[in-house]
Amino acid sequence: MKLRTKYMLFVVILHLVAVVLSFFIFRQNKILFIVSEIFIIISIILSWQLFKELIQPLKLLMQGTEAIKDRDFNVKFLPTGKYEMDELIAVYNRMIDELRTERTKQEQQHLFLEKLIYTSPTGIIILDYENNIQQVNPKALQLLDVEEKDILSKSIHELSHPVIEALKSLESGKAKTFTFNGITTYKLQKSHFIDRGFPRHFIMIEELTVEILMAEKKAYGKVIRMMAHEVNNSIGSVNSILQSALASKNIWTEPTNEPLQNALQVAVERNYNLNIFMRNFADLVRLPQPDKKKINLHTVIYSVARLMEMKAGEKNISFQYHFADAPFYISADSRQMEQVLINIVKNAMEAIEANGIISFNINSRIKELTITDNGKGITPAEAAQLFSPFYSTKKDGQGIGLTLVKEVLLNHDFGLSLKTVAERQTEFRIRF
């Protein structure tokens, strides 16, 4: 029962009782009966006036409550000239002003946050309460190389992307680095915020490839320059001594000195090989900026294939070409691109060992070259280290080949990836 109904019921019952009592008590005295009735009428009028004064604030309160319930913070009331009512109206109007100011502030902060997330150079993924992807910014889509419709509203536990796989085991408040395809390095960080009393997680993905490559190159460049300086100084001095010894006539006239002659010659050859070894490292540090010109990639590939066909023939390895008839032009340094393709083909031949196929496929629509071999493939452990400086899967390898390939292609602003996509199917992709 509403308060208004209760009040009306109380007033009606009270005055009916008063009328009945006055009738029975003062019915013998008409004057007192009339006076009592007048007092009852005055009481009814006062009760009605009091009712209106009490109900009006309640009506205002109800209107204000409805406005707040509808989140309409523009409804305000004018003073009525009555003290109590004006005090209530003043408090309500002040509350509405503060609510409106707070809502405007929150809307501005929300818009700013949305803009910040959208334009952030860091990839951001926001999850809902059940770890479904609720929001993802353009940078995250770019880093993951996926479409928004492919991951939105899906649980991270349902997705099979390598970066998402690395996130599944990441705890809130923790961070880790992850290398994708042996080239691209990401910093992954997971945290949470409280929304309506419950925690919601968000993930930040930052690409560290450029910074790591620069740090790596600076570190190994310093080491290589120091090694080259010391080795070249030593080789020069030792070779000078060896040449002086070999120039002595006594060594060649005495038959008993033949073992010494052979030892000295072996030492000279070893020094020569050591010099070549160090030159390979020095070339990596002194790699010049590409002299870019318009070149036909078909011509470069055929040139490299002719150079490698004799070695390939010894292993019964054949080359296949999947090109369009029209030339495919790129802007690149032809010598450096030849060196890149030589290293890739050489590694493919070593992976095949014998009896295999190396195919060259150019997709002119997406401007991509794919070199595929049917060798033994790459293990997951090897994939994470492939492009690391000085890492090699070969017993006597220097770990320079793929590092040089990566340096040249990144200097050209070309993308690259190397991975085994199926059993006995390894692909090296270059995106121009």
What DSSP line would sit under 336-374, residue for residue? HHHHHHHHHHHHHHHHH-SSEEEEEEEETTTTEEEEEE-
Three-class DSSP category at 219 = helix
- Residues forming beta bridges with residue 357, ordered by sequence position: 318
| Other beta carbons within 10 Å of 301 | 22
pLDDT reported for residue 57: 67
| pLDDT of amino acid 98 | 86
What confidence score (pLDDT) does residue 249 get? 61
Structure-block tokens of residue 163: 């970066």
pLDDT for the residue numbered 117 = 87
Handedness of CA 372, 375, 381, 386 (dihedral sign): negative
Cα angle value 321/326/332 (rounded, 5°): 80
pLDDT attached to residue 294: 93
> Across the 432 residues of the chain, what is the mean pLDDT of every consecutive 10-residue run?
73 80 75 79 82 70 74 75 76 84 85 88 89 90 86 86 82 81 77 85 82 65 67 70 67 63 70 67 68 92 89 90 90 89 89 89 92 85 66 60 80 86 88 90
Instruction: Note the maximum CA span of the chain.
Output: 170
pTM of the model: 0.52
Domain boundaries, the chain: 3-102, 120-207, 212-285, 293-431
Paired sense of beta strands 356-363 and 368-373, if any? antiparallel
Domain 293-431: give its CATH superfamily: Histidine kinase-like ATPase, C-terminal domain (3.30.565.10)
Residue with tokens 């990639």: 297
Residue-level pLDDT at 319: 93
- C-alpha 427/C-alpha 350 separation (Å) is 14
What's the CATH code, domain 120-207?
A: 3.30.450.20
Instruction: Give the model's pLDDT for residue 395.
Output: 58
By the 8 A CB rule, do 205 and 123 touch?
A: yes
Calpha distance 374→358 (Å, rounded): 7
Q: Note the pLDDT of residue 359.
A: 94
pLDDT at 385: 67
pLDDT at 367: 92
